[in-house]
Structure 1
C-alpha cells in the first residue's frame, strides 16, 4: 500500500479528541439593534459610545454598513431549499448559507467531525464509519464594522472566580482565537438573525474547521475540485453537514465522506465531579484561578453522563429510593449488525443496569434498535449514541465518547465494532479454554458460544463510553488457585472483579476442576466505580462533595476487589499486579497452569483445525497463537523482576506508594524463565504439526510462515533485552539501596541467569542449535546494552524521551488483536500510570556511573573465563560457538 501505514495508525491515537464547530447567522434591519449587538458582544464592547453624539455617529456608520448588504430575498432566493433548526441552513443552487439567531452569538458550540464512509485503502488501516477524529469548542461573534462573522475557539480548561481581582487578568491572558471568518451576506427577515455563506469550510477549500487529512496523517489537503457538500440537516440543538472530501497522495486518490455536527451546548454546564486517582475514570483537565490562592488549583474532571433525578423525584432519590433519571443513556444498534448478534450486544449494554442502581437510578441505560425509516435519525448525529458495525478486516473494537470540555459531561458515545473482532475472540477462547471446554475447539463456534464473548466485548466497550478506563489491576484480586474453584468463580463471576481489565478467559482452570464461569463479567469494582461517579447529590460545587466522594473510596481501601491499577506503558511495565492479559495474584503460578493447558492443546492442533480439502493455514495460525500465549506468559513473569507495586495513597491511608516485589517472587520468576522460556521446551519446538505447516503470522502484507529456529531466536532476544533494560536494573539497584539483603539484586539475577543459560557449558556438555542461539542472544544483549549505557551523554539524549502526554485525549482502542500478531507489537495503553517509576529521562545522566554497567561487564568477564576453559570440547559446532563468543566479548571490552 502506498499510504504511510505507520503514520496513519500512530495519528489515530491523537485523532479522537474533544472540540466543536460553527453555527449560522441572522439579520437585523434597525440600526439601533445592530448598534446594541456590537456593544453587547464581548469583542466589540470597547467600541460602545459614551454619549448621545457618539451614539448618533455609530448609528450613521451602521446605517452605511446596512446599506451595503444585500436584501434577504436577493440572497435566500425562491430557489432556496431550507432546513429549520438551531441553525437554519439554506441551499441556493450550489451555495450553502447558515442563518444564526442573534441570541446564539457568544454561545458555546461543539463541532464534532466524524468519518461516515471510507474507501478500501482507509478501511484496511482501521479508519471506519463512526470514528470521531476532530472536535472544536467554538463561538460565533459578529463584527458589524467589517461585516463579518468570526468563528472563535478557546480552551475551556481554565476559569476564574467571578468578582475576584485576578479575573480581569484572566480575561486578558486567556482570550479566544479567531479560527475562521465568514462575510455577512444579509440580515434575516425579522432583523434578529444573520446570514452567511459557509461553502469553503465544508467543500474542502479550507481546513480551518475540518482538517481531515492532516489529522489522519495523510500528505496534502482536500482537492476542492474533487470534493463537495453532500447533504445538510438541522435539528433543534444540532446541525449536520455531510461532505465528500478527496485528496491525492503518493500516486493514489482517496475520497472520504465525513459528517460535521454543530452542537449547541447547554448554557449552564453540568456540575463537574473531581477525579480521584484511586478510581479509574477518563478525565478532563481544568485549572481554577481565584484571589485566595497561593498556587493555581489543578483538577481533573470526571468524564460522565449527566444523570439527574427528575424534579418531582428528588426527595425520593435522596431518601434512597431508585428513580429513573431525567434523561436515559440510550445506545442504538446499527442496522448493519448481523441479526444473530444484535440481542447479545444489547445484553452487554443492559448488563450495566445493576451498576447504575448503585448510583440510585433504575432504567438508566438502555439499548434499542436504530430506526430504519425515520428521516430524522442519522447514526452520525451526535444526538444518538451508536454501536456502529464496521465491515472490515480489522479485529478490534473501540469505545470513544464526545465530551463537553467545560465540565467533563459525556454528550454522545460511539462504539466501533469491527466485524473481524470475532476471529480474535475465537482464537483466544480456543487457545485459553479449549483444554477445559469442548465447545471451544471448533473452527467455527456455535452462535450461542460466540455470543458469550460478544456480550463481554459489548460490556467492556460500553464501560469505556461510561467513562471507565482499563483497570489492569483488577485480576490481581483473585488468588490463582481460586480461579480453579467452580464455587468461587460461580460466586465471584468470571476472571476478575472488573470487566475493564484485560482478564480475557480462564486459562488457569484445569480439565478436572469443572469450572464453567470462564468469561469476564461486570464485577464488584465496576459497580462501585459507577456508583462513585454517578451518585447524584444536591450540593452546590464539586468542592462541597470531596469529603463524601473520598469516604466512599476509604470504605474499601483495604479490599483488593476495589483496587484500581492503571494500564501501563507496554515498553516499560513496572507493576506486576496491573498487567494486560494476566490472571490471578502470582504470574508464575498462573503461567504454569496456563502452560499445562497449552501442552494439552498442541497435539490437538491438526484435529481441531481440520477441514476436508483445505490446506494447513488454520493450523499454522493456531500454532502461532499458542506460541503467542506462551510468550505472553513469559512477559507477565518478566515484569516481576525489578517490579514495583504502585499505588495512590492519600493522607490517612496505610498504603505504600512504592513496594518492591518480594525477593522470593523475583527469584521464582527467573527460575520460570530458565525452565520454560530460555530452555525452549520441546513441546513447542518439535510439534508434530510442523510436518505440515510452520507457525503463520498474519500481517498487513499477508501471511508469513516462520521457521521455528527463526521465530524462537527473535522471541529469546526480546526476553533478554527486556531483562537487561536500563530501567529494570535501576529499579533493582534502588531496591538494594532500600532493602539491602532482603532485595533481589542485579548480582542475584545475573548469577541465576548464568547458572541457567550456561548449565550445559559448566558441565562440559555439547550444545544444540537452540542452546547456542540462546547464549549468543544473551551475550549480544549484554554487550549492546552495556555499550549503549557508555555512550556519551548529549543534550539531545537528555531530552529525547521528554514528550507531552496525550493519554487523556486518546481514543479508547482496545487490543483485540490475535496474539500471533500482538506479540510482535508494542502493547497499547489508554492512559497509563503517569509516574512510570524510573523512566529514562529521570536517570539519563546516570548511565555511566550506574552499577548496572559494572555488573554487565563483570558478567561478560565471567562468561569469557568459563568459555575459555571449554575451548577444547570435542563437538565442533560447540567449540566454534565458544571461540566466537570469546572473540565477541574481547572485542566489546576492548581487550588485547
Structure 2
C-alpha cells in the first residue's frame, strides 16, 4: 500500500487515507492512488505455452548452460529465457510487488524511480500449474470467528497469471516455471497504468522492441528490469516515432509471515493509514477498523526499554542518498533525516533513524530494490519534493520509502525564504543564496518529507499554537526550536519577525507535536493487544487535549477551521498578516537591488514580485478563513464540551475589516511604476484584479455562507449574520457612493466583480461535490441547495439596495469614466435580477 505526498501547493492524497482530506498532498504535485480492486492486465496475463511432453526432467529444463542466481527463488537464465524455481515453502506466502520507472524518455513530470503500481501476490500451486493470485484486504474476519467463511466466500483472490510447471527439482521441494512472458508481454500491473495509456493514446505493446533485461534474486526479494516499447499515436517527445519506450523495474518483496501488530488510528493524532471492514467483531453493524502506517521498531533490550532507558531498535530505519545527488547537498539531506532522532527519543528509541550515502561499485545494490529506502534526486525543473511510503496492507507496517527530490525545489525555497524573511534577513537578499543558506533550506525540506515517510501527514493546525508576538522573540523561538510545534505544518519561515528582532529563529524544526506524534505512534507496548494499546493511547491523548502545541488540524483545500490552513503563523491571523504586509512593504522598494544579477534580464525581479503578490494573497486567505469559520476539536465521549464552535462575531467582523483595508482598498504600495516598467507590459491591472476577485469570491462562497446561516440559527444575536456580512461588504466595496471620492481602475474592476458574484449567488447553484450522489461536502456537511436557502433572497436584496444607492450617488460624479461605470453597473444589476429578459 502506497502513500504518496506532494506539497508546495501539496498532495492530494488518498489510498484510504484518514486524518487527511483526499484532495491535498506534499508540496502539491500528485496524490496517492486509492486502494481499489487489484489492477488487472490489459489482456489476461500471458500463460507460458505448455510443451507437449508436460513436466520434464529437471536437467532437461535447467541445463548446465543455465546461469543461476540464488535468493528468494532461484532464478535461472537460459537461451534468453528466465525461469523461477519456487520452493514449496513459499507457496501461498504474501509478497509485495512494486512497479517503478527505472528510466523514462524526456517527459515533463515523469522520472526514473517513481512508482507506477503495487500489488500483493501469492504464488499458488495447483496440479501441473502455478498461479499468481491477488488477495484483497478490504473485508476481514478472524479465522476463529463465525463470519470467517462468509467473508472468505465474498473476497475471492483474483488470478493475475498462470504458468505450466516445466520441471520439479530432484527432491520434489520446488517447481520450475518460465516467467519470461510475465515481464516481456503486456501485463498492465507490471507496466504502464491505464492513465498513461490514455494520455499517450497507447494501442499495443511492440514485442519486437521489448525484452527482459535482468532478473536478480536476493534473500527476501527479486528484482526484475525490462525495456518495454508501446505503440502510441500521441507519444511524448518525438511523435514521428509513433511509440514510447521505458525501462520498468519490478520488485517482489517477501512480506513477514506474521504481520506486525497493527495500531488503531485516532482522529486527534495525525497519521496516514488504511481501513478495513472487520466482520469478525462483536458489533451490530459492519465495523470499519482503521490502522496507522508506521515502521516496525522494537527495542534491542526490552528490559532496559521497560525501565525507561533509551534503547536502540533491532532494525534501524535507513535512507540512502541517490548517487545522482550533487555532493554539496548530501550532508544537508542526511542531516534532515537524522533530525528525527530527537522525536524517536520521545518514543524510547535512540539512533532510530539515519541516512547513508549509497554504496559505490556494489552490483547488488540498486535504488529500485524494494529493500532500500532512497532519497531519489530528479533532474527536473519541477519545484517540488514528495515523501511517499509503501506499507503492508495487512497491518500498516511501512516496508520502504523513496523520497522524490526535484532539483528545482531549491528555487521554490529560495522564493519562500526571500519573500518571507528578506525584510529582516540579509542572507535572503540575493538572487542566489550562499551554499550554507541553501543547504539549511534543503535540510528543512528533507526533514519535512522524511516526516511523511514516517507516517505523518501535514498538520495544518500546528502553526496556530504560538502567540504572534512570541514569534518575534529570540528567547522564545530558540526554546521552541522553531516557528511552530510541527515541521509537518506548512509554517514555512518567520514572516512575523520585524526589523530589530535580532537572533529570532526563522525556520521551523522538529517540534513538540512531532515528538508527541512519534511517541504516540511508535512507543513499544510489549504484549498488549491493539485494543489494550488503544486504551492507553486514548488516555495520553486526553491528557494533551486543549493544549494548542498538541493540536492536530487536518489538511483541506477550503478549511472551515481557520486554525488549520496552509502557510500561516501564530494565533491571530489579523495581527500576523499585518506584520507580514509590513515586511512586504519593506521588500518592494529594495526588490530590484536584492534581485540584481550582472548581465541578466529582469527575470528575477519579475518572479519575486509575483511571489510578493502571492504572499499578500496568502495573508488575505488566512484572515478570510475566520469569516464563517468553525473551530473543530475532535473528541471522544470522555471529553466534555462541543466538537464544533463558530468563530466569535467580533473576530469575524475584524477579519472583514482587515480585508477591506488591505485587499479591497487598492494596495498602491505594490504598484511602484519604476519597478513595474522593468518587466510588466500592461499586465498588472489584470493580475491585481484576479487577486482581489479571488479574495471576494472566497468570502461569497456557498459553503461559507451556509456556515454563516448555520451560525445564525444556532447562536442567534451572538452570530455574525449574513445580512450583517452582506451589508458590511457592500458598504466597503462601494464606499465611494457615500463619499463621492475617486473610483480608480482597480476599484471599478472589483465593483464589477461584486455584481457578477452576487448575480452568481442569485442565479446559480453550488456544484455537486466530487462524491456525487452522496450529497456531502468534503467537510462532511450535507450538500446545500442554494435555491431554497436564504442566500438567493439576500443576494437579490443586496443588488436592489446597491442599485438604489448608485442612483442616489450618480449626481456626485462628473468624471465620464466613473459615470459610465455606474451606468454599466445598473445595467448589470438589472440583468442579474431579470436574467431572462
TM-score (norm 2): 0.91
Match of 2:31 among 13, 21, 25: 13
CA deviation vs aligned residue, 1:7-54 (integer Å, no higher than 9, x gap): 9x99952448799999xxxxxxxxxxxxxxxxxxxxxxxxxxxxxxxx
- Alignment partner, residue 831 of structure 2: 891
Cα distance in 1 for partners of 2:768, 2:101 equals 40
Aligned to 2:432, the other structure's residue is in SS state coil
Shift of residue 693 of structure 1? 1.0
Contact 2:281–2:287 (CA under 8 A) maintained in structure 1: no
Q: Secondary structure, in 3 states, of the residue corresponding to 1:170?
A: helix
Alignment partner of 1:177 out of 138, 154, 158: 158
Moved more, 330-339 or 197-206: 197-206
Report the CA distance shift for 1:153/1:322 in structure 2 as closer, same or farther (over 3 A).
same
* Aligned residue in 1 for 2:3: none
Out of 499, 502, 521, the position equivalent to 1:514 is 502
User: Cα–Cα, structure 1 residues 214 and 94, in superposed 2: closer, same or farther, change >3 Å?
Assistant: farther
How far 1:297 moved relative to its partner?
A: 2.5
2:265, 2:292 within 8 Å by CA — same for their partners in 1?
yes
- RMSD of aligned Cα (Å): 2.6
Asked if 1:864 corresponds to 2:803, the answer is yes
Report the counterpart of residue 714 of structure 1 in structure 2: 690
Which one of the candidate residues 271, 275, 290 is aligned to 1:281?
A: 271
Cα deviation for residue 451 of structure 1 reads 1.6
* Alpha-carbon offset, residue 299 of structure 1: 1.3
Gaps of 5+ in 1: 1-5, 23-63, 695-704, 792-796, 806-833
Structure 1 Cα separation of the partners of residues 54 and 750 of structure 2: 83
Which residue matches 2:89? 103
2:16 is matched with none
Is 1:366 paired with 2:354?
yes
Structure 2 unmatched ranges of 5 or more: 1-10, 13-24, 41-49
The alpha-carbon distance between structure 1 residues 216 and 766, as it changes in their structure 2 partners (threshold 3 A), is: same
Which of 402, 407, 413 matches 2:395? 407
Q: Does 1:92 align with 2:78?
A: yes
The aligned residue for residue 378 of structure 1 is: 366
Give the structure 1 partner of residue 486 of structure 2: 498
Of 741, 752, 763, 1:776 maps to 752
Distance 2:32 2:774 in 1: 12
- How far, CA to CA, are the matches of 1:292 and 1:761 in structure 2? 68
Range that drifts further, 404-413 or 149-158? 149-158
1:468 pairs, out of 435, 439, 456, with: 456
Name the CA distance, whole Å, in 1 between partners of 2:654 and 2:30.
40
1:495-894 paired onto structure 2 within 5 Å: 495-568=483-556, 570=557, 572-694=558-680, 707-789=683-765, 801-802=771-772, 836-837=778-779, 839=781, 842-844=782-784, 846-872=785-811, 873-894=813-834
1:29-428 matched pairs, under 5 angstroms:
68-121=54-107, 124-125=108-109, 127-144=110-127, 147-212=128-193, 214=195, 218=199, 219-220=201-202, 221-247=204-230, 248-250=232-234, 252=239, 253-290=243-280, 292-310=282-300, 313-428=301-416
For residues 687 and 475 of structure 1, do their structure 2 counterparts lie closer, same or farther at Cα, with a shift above 3 Å needed? farther
Q: CA deviation at 1:685?
A: 2.5
In the alignment, the residues of structure 1 paired with residue 430 and residue 34 of structure 2 have an alpha-carbon distance, to the nearest angstrom, of: 37
User: Contact 2:391–2:398 at 8 Å: present in 1 too?
Assistant: yes
Quote how far apart the aligned CAs of 1:539 are.
2.4
Distance in 2 (alpha carbons) for counterparts of 1:877 and 1:76: 90
Distance 2:760 2:777 in 1: 28
TM-superposed CA distance for 1:209, in Å, is: 3.9
Q: Distance in 2 between matches of 1:458 and 1:847?
A: 45
Contact 1:116 1:130 in 2 (8 A): yes
C-alpha separation in 1, matches of 2:412 and 2:255: 39
Normalised to the residue count of structure 1, the TM-score between the two structures is 0.85
Q: Deviations over 1:439-481 (max 9, x none)?
A: 1111111111112211111111111111011100000001111
User: Hey, what's the Cα distance between the residues in 2 that align with 1:225 and 1:308?
Assistant: 50
What's the offset of the Cα at 1:270? 0.3
**Preserved contact between residue 21 and residue 111 of structure 1 (Cα < 8 Å):** no
Deviations 1:384-405 (A, max 9, x none): 1111111111111111011000
Partners of 1:733 and 1:347 lie apart in 2 by 50
Is the CA contact (8 Å cut-off) linking 2:191 and 2:248 kept in structure 1? no
Aligned residue for 1:337, secondary structure, equals: coil
1: distance between equivalents of 2:339 and 2:751? 52
Instruction: Please tell me whether the aligned partners of residues 20 and 262 of structure 1 are also in contact (alpha carbons under 8 angstroms).
Output: no
Shifted more, 631-640 versus 156-165: the winner is: 156-165
Check conservation: 1:11, 1:216, Cα contact below 8 A.
no
Per-residue deviation at 1:666? 0.9
SS in 2 for 1:461: helix
When residues 799 and 324 of structure 1 are mapped into structure 2, their CA distance, relative to the original with a 3 A threshold, is: closer
* Aligned residues of 1:271 and 1:407 also touching (Cα < 8 A): yes
CA distance in 2, matches of 1:216, 1:577: 42
CA distance in 2, matches of 1:804, 1:80: 58
The worse-fitting range, judged by mean Cα deviation, of 376-385 and 718-727 is 718-727
- Tell me which moved more, 189-198 or 254-263: 189-198
Residues 850-884 of structure 1 deviation map (CA, whole Å, 9 limit, x = unaligned)? 01111111111111111122344311111111111
> Is the contact made by 1:20 and 1:112 (CA closer than 8 Å) also made in structure 2?
no
Instruction: Note if contact 2:471-2:504 (Cα within 8 Å) is conserved in structure 1.
Output: no
Per the alignment, do residues 321 and 306 of structure 1 end up closer, same or farther by CA in structure 2, a change over 3 Å counting? Answer: same
Deviations 1:252-297 (A, max 9, x none): 3332222100111110000111111111000111222227332232
